[in-house]
């Protein structure tokens, strides 16, 4: 893993050891264990392996291994008043201001690597992620999730009833998404009979057409 600070090396190593000792696997199919050398960046480690899994996050939190009062990137002493990156609203990692800048930079670099183009600048009205779609497609960068976010920013946010829908969605969707986590059969049904059909309509909608 890229070197950030002495604390970051210790932070990742201790979390990997704790997860291995508890029987968690980095890859359930191959049975691969957690190892600091498996991660290219701290951002990948934090977002994809520490916060994304409900079971892992809450296990590590019970061991006081996630938010320890120091930024995972810089080792700077911080507290809950500092910025945080969250998933499903209830899983947070607090970072220093410098750490947050590093995370955003690495996030943008990963986006450009996956899609071959820089991440588009979000509209000021943009909210958080598409929680339910992210859980059902198991990837925040899935084409469907990206399309839903674009539809939110380019169409829904332009009307009062669209903004009302967005507000209601972000009020109730985190809890629904948390319930759906790990329920592959239910998520498959939701994708096939609901989200995929919406995606087809959204992806064919011409720009500027709100009807």
Residue with tokens 């239910």: 186
Check pLDDT > 60 for residue 121: no
Per-residue pLDDT tens for 87-118? 766 788 999 999 999 998 998 888 788 767 77
Mean pLDDT of the chain: 84
Domain map (residue ranges) of the chain:
6-112, 121-204
Three-state DSSP state, 45: helix
Three-state DSSP state, 139: coil
Per-residue pLDDT tens for 135-146? 888 777 777 888
Residue 55, phi then psi, degrees to nearest 5: -65, -45
Q: Are 42 and 73 in contact (CB under 8 A)?
A: yes
Q: Is the full-model pTM beyond 0.75?
A: no
How many residues appear in the chain? 211
Q: What is the dihedral of CA 22, 54, 196, 152, to 10 degrees?
A: -140
Residue with tokens 């011409």: 206
Residue 208, phi then psi, degrees to nearest 5: 85, -5
Residue 179, phi then psi, degrees to nearest 5: -65, -35
Task: Break the chain down into helix, strand, coil percent, rounded to 5.
Answer: 55, 5, 35
Angle, helix 6-21 to helix 54-62, in steps of 10 degrees: 110
Mean pLDDT of 68-96: 88
């Amino acid at each position: 893993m890229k070197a950030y600070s002495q604390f970051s090396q210790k932070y990742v190593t201790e979390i990997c050891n704790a997860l291995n000792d508890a029987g968690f696997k980095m890859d359930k199919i191959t049975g691969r264990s957690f190892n600091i050398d498996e991660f290219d960046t701290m951002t990948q480690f934090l977002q994809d392996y520490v916060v994304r899994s409900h079971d892992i996050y809450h296990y590590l939190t019970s061991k006081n291994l996630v938010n320890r009062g120091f930024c995972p990137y810089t080792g700077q002493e911080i507290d809950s008043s500092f910025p945080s990156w969250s998933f499903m609203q209830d899983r947070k990692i607090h970072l220093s201001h410098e750490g947050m800048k590093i995370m955003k930079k690495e996030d943008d670099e990963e986006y450009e690597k996956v899609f071959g183009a820089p991440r588009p600048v979000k509209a000021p009205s943009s909210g958080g992620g598409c929680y339910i779609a992210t859980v059902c497609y198991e990837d925040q960068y899935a084409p469907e999730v990206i399309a839903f976010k674009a539809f939110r920013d380019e169409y829904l946010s332009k009307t009062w009833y669209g903004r009302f829908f967005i507000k209601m969605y972000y009020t109730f969707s985190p809890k629904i998404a948390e319930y759906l986590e790990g329920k592959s059969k239910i998520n498959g049904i939701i994708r096939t009979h609901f989200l995929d059909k919406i995606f087809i309509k959204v992806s064919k909608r011409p720009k500027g057409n709100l009807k």
